[in-house]
Structure 1
Amino acid sequence: MASSTSTETKNSWPELVGTKGEEAAATIIRENPSVKAHTVNEGSFVTFDMRRDRVRVWIDEHGVVTKAPKIG
């Protein structure tokens, strides 16, 4: 297991694709407490503004993450 001594802040979570959305959101917040992560259903309308404190976790009808969550 790699050490987490880096000061670099994580901004993308491709490893969460295929996991449950609520669990993914909790993982994101735990790994980067400066962001708010929330699930969004595929096909939902969202704003296109860029925010450094937001992570959208896109989920399907089963609550499974469908694309890599990232800050924005």
Structure 2
Amino acid sequence: MASECMGKSVWPELLRVDGEVAKSTIEEENSLVTAQIVTEGTIVTPDYRCDRVWVWVDETSIVTRVPQIG
């Protein structure tokens, strides 16, 4: 589905980075998305959206999954 979305869609370089830094980087590199920081274990909606990136972080606010559009 990512091919339907405009702009950069995945940020593997942000794995193990501070969540706020990741959020800023994502929104700077693709102005069409909003990055939302989510703590591991939180329940989120399963719908796919081209304007959203989940930034999964641990209890120390470090990114635990590769951020991608969805």
Q: TM-score, normalised by structure 2?
A: 0.90
Ranges of 4+ aligned residues in structure 1 off by more than 2 Å: none
Equivalent position to 1:47, from 40, 45, 48: 45
Larger radius of gyration: 1
Q: Which runs of 5+ in 1 are unaligned?
A: 1-7
Q: CA RMSD in A?
A: 1.0
Letter in 2 for 1:55: V
1-side partners of 2:11 and 2:25: how far apart? 9
- CA positional deviation for 1:38: 1.2
Identity within the alignment, %: 51
Q: TM-score, normalised by structure 1?
A: 0.87
- CA positional deviation for 1:9: 1.7
2-side partners of 1:45 and 1:14: how far apart? 22
* 2:21 pairs with 1:23: yes
Question: What is the count of residue pairs matched by the alignment?
Answer: 65
Greater fraction helix? 2
Letter in 2 for 1:22: E
1:10 — aligned with what? 8
* 2:55 pairs with 1:62: no
Q: Which runs of 5+ in 2 are unaligned?
A: 1-5
